[in-house]
Amino acid sequence: IQTLKNGKNSHNFEREYDLPTDVDLTSMKKSLSSSGIFHIVFDKKHIEPKRVLEDISKDDEFRLKVNFDGFKPEEISVKIVGRDVIVEGAKKSHPLSESEYTYSTCSGYISRTIRMGEEIDMDQLRAKISPDGSIEIFAPKLVDKIQPAERMLPIEK
């Protein structure tokens, strides 16, 4: 509280927020409600979403990209259960801000289960972080299990 020369008091309030990357800063609208609530609204920029799963396989190799935007490499795990590959991302809850009146946290969880075909050599299955932050899952294909891309299907009578 600051007392001004005219005898009136002045109160300053300041709060900082991290804005999402898809916010259009030029579209900011602000208003103060009759009950004293200050509203700030932004439009979102259109950002082309990344595909969640992208098959980048070759004839002799299975390769799949799994998008895990927003997760750090240490927050992602990959496990195999039977012929399923389970990729999970878990953000630990951590305080964003803490004061006498407010407490906020951020956490998140995402899971993708991918069923592997019979042509994939499960013993050679590997995972790595790609340069764009996606997880790449890859393995050689078993030559004797590869199905031809096209075959005739007889019609039964």
93, 75, 58: which is closest to 135 by C-alpha? 75
Cα 86 to Cα 124: distance, rounded to the nearest angstrom: 16
Could you tell me which residue, 68 or 11, shows the higher pLDDT?
68
Q: Is 93's pLDDT higher than 90?
A: no
Q: Is 50's pLDDT higher than 70?
A: no
pTM: 0.56
111-131 pLDDT, tens digit per residue, is 999 999 888 889 999 999 888
Cα 21 to Cα 45: distance, rounded to the nearest angstrom: 9
Task: Give mean pLDDT, residues 67-71.
Answer: 82
70, 72, 89: which is closest to 21 by C-alpha? 70
Task: Give mean pLDDT, residues 87-113.
Answer: 76
**Which option is the CATH number for 53-140: 2.60.40.790, 3.30.930.10, 1.20.1630.10, 3.50.30.60?**
2.60.40.790
Structural domain spans, the chain: 53-140
Q: Is 9's pLDDT higher than 90?
A: no
Give the 3-state secondary structure of residue 93: strand
**Span of 3-7, 41-45, 87-91, 107-111 with lowest mean pLDDT:** 3-7
E strands, 8-151, are: 9-10, 23-32, 38-44, 53-55, 61-66, 76-81, 84-98, 103-115, 126-129, 135-140
Half-sphere exposure of 116 (CA within 13 A, CB side): 29
